[in-house]
Amino acid sequence: MTKGRLEAFSDGVIAILITILVLELKVPHGTDLDALRPMLPTFLTYVLSFVYVGIYWNNHHHLLHATTGVSAGILWANLHLLFWLSLIPFVTGWMGENHFAAVPTAIYGGVLFAAAIAYLILEIAIIAHQGPESKLREAIGREWKGKLSVLCYLSAILLAFVNHWYSHGLYVFVALLWLIPDRRIEAKLRE
């Protein structure tokens, strides 16, 4: 069983997810700039979710690059990850339309948390399939970003009921965490 179709299918689902996010941006009725102002929370949420789906695509790309064979367990762990990612347009729309209210903000974090756990399960399924000499196992041992992200999501869920700005700060922080250091590491690798 080859990984080609698994990659193609995942790429397809993630590409559709990142694109139908824009369907949550409903065309406003007015024709002046004021008509855009109430859309600002929806737009910012759109940007945030776009970046998150992009990060997942990017990491998924690297993860499968380090994968050789595909087992049924990997197929289902991958579908499980895609399931949680597929809920992102829904929670994005809910959080954006309600100007970052507490419950939608917490649920948004809940979906990010579940996706992070699903990603972890996918990594475990791949390591289990690769056996004791798995190279991925080593790589993941050094991976502190995934653990920190999960911690941030959990904090954001709780903090949503204190002050939702803390939660959004954490969501933006995690996004930057994945966006920025990758370049630094890559630069080091190329030295």
Region 128-157 residues binding a copy of itself, contact defined as CB under 8 A: none
In this chain, which stretch among 115-123, 145-153, 166-174, 180-188 interacts with a copy of itself, using CB under 8 A? 180-188
Least CB distance from residue 41 to a copy of itself, whole Å? Answer: 12
In this chain, which stretch among 3-11, 114-122, 132-140, 165-173 interacts with a copy of itself, using CB under 8 A? 3-11
In this chain, which stretch among 32-40, 140-148, 153-161, 167-175 interacts with a copy of itself, using CB under 8 A? 32-40
d(CA 52, CA 34): 28
d(CA 163, CA 130): 44
What is the token pair recorded at 176?
Answer: 């930057």
Region 65-104 residues binding a copy of itself, contact defined as CB under 8 A: 65, 71-73, 75-76, 79, 82-83, 86-87, 89-90, 93-94, 97-98, 101-104
Least CB distance from residue 8 to a copy of itself, whole Å? Answer: 5
d(CA 25, CA 89): 11
Residues forming the site for a copy of itself (CB under 8 A): 1, 5, 7-9, 11-25, 27-28, 31-33, 35-36, 47, 50, 54, 57-58, 61-62, 65, 71-73, 75-76, 79, 82-83, 86-87, 89-90, 93-94, 97-98, 101-104, 107, 179, 182-183, 186
